[in-house]
Amino acid sequence: MEKYFITNNIKTFYVTATSFPGGVLKAHQALHALLPTIENRKFFGISFPGKAGNIIYKAAVKENYTGEAEQLNCETFIIGKGTYCSETIKDFMKDVSVVGKIFQQLLQHPDLDINGYCLEIYPNEKDIICLVKLNDND
């Protein structure tokens, strides 16, 4: 596990999965279908517990220009700046179950922000960075 720093808030817009984990891929596909191109875009996955004990998952992309989310009739989510605990998984599609296992480990961090969320960053089409927000002790 490594510390990962996000220096500025990131405004994203998203498509919510209809189920978790079964609807995750379809949510990403629906998000991609909204965009004229996926080149040079920053994609994320955001998940957190729902009120019914389920997992809410949002396939998200960084807004390229002010008003893009509204133009596409999408809701927005701000990924908060701060310190995260992270683990990178290379070629994660070979065994996607590893992602859940890594998050279970990350969620055990003693400085976990209990009001945070699980964050996935997709630096390319094969790899994933799994992160959880830590308490900021400023």
pLDDT of res. 137: 63
Tokens 């490594």 belong to residue: 2
Q: Which residues of the chain have pLDDT under 70?
A: 137-138
pLDDT of res. 96: 86
pLDDT of res. 32: 96
Task: Determine the Cα–Cα distance for residues 103 and 107; give it in Å rounded to an integer.
Answer: 6
What is the 8-class DSSP label of residue 12? E
pLDDT, tens digit (0-9, with 9 covering 90-100), for 90-119: 999 898 889 999 999 999 999 999 899 999
- Answer left, alpha or beta for residue 62, where phi above 0 means left and psi between -120 and 50 means alpha: beta
Residue 58 neighbours by CB distance under 10 Å: 21
Task: Determine the Cα–Cα distance for residues 71 and 40; give it in Å rounded to an integer.
Answer: 19
pTM for this entry: 0.93
